[in-house]
Amino acid sequence: MIKITHDDFDINEMISQAKTSKMGAMVTFLGTVRDDDIDQLHFEAYEEVANKELETISDEAFGKFDIESVDVIHRIGELSVGENILLIIVGAGHRKEAFDACEYVLERIKESVPIWKKEIGNSGNRWIPGEAYKS
C-alpha cells in the first residue's frame, strides 16, 4: 500500500496485512510528531505527484534490494505532538535487505516527495526549508 491520507492508521493492522510466509524480516519506521517546543505540525502535499513519487521510490527499492514488499503511508494536515506522521514497512527474506531498503525509502521520501511541513507554536508558525521535508 502506498497512500497519502488525512486519517491516522493502525500500525498493527498494516504490519499484519504486509506479512507473508516468504518474509524472514520486517522492518518498520514510524515517524511521529515530537515535542520541539511546537504545538502542531501542518503537512501539505501535492498529492497526485506525491503518490506517483512514492510509487517510483517503491519500484526503485524493489530494483535495488532483494525484498518482498514496501508499504508507505504518510499523513497530511495538522498533527499534534505524539501523533503518527509516516509509516514505512519493508518485508524481505533477510534483515539486512529489509533494513537497507527501509532506510533507502525513508531517505528518498525526504529528498523528492512533494510534502512540506510547517511548525505551529507559541512563537509563531514557520515552514521548514530544505529538502521535501525532514522528520
> Which tens digit of pLDDT belongs to each residue from 65-97?
999 999 999 999 999 999 999 999 999 999 999
> Which tens digit of pLDDT belongs to each residue from 14-65?
999 999 999 999 999 999 999 888 899 999 999 999 999 999 999 999 999 9
Share of the chain above pLDDT 70, in %: 95
Read off the C-alpha cell for 118. 510547517
* Secondary structure of the chain in HEC code, one letter for each residue: CEEEECCCCCHHHHHHHHCCCCCCEEEEEEEECCCCCCCEEEEEECHHHHHHHHHHHHHHHHHHCCEEEEEEEEECEEEECCCEEEEEEEEECCHHHHHHHHHHHHHHHHHHCCEEEEEEECCEEEECCCCCCCC
Domains of the chain: 2-120 (3.90.1170.40)
pTM: 0.92
In this predicted structure, the answer to whether residue 131 has a pLDDT above a threshold of 70 is no
CA 5 to CA 73: how far, in whole Å?
A: 7
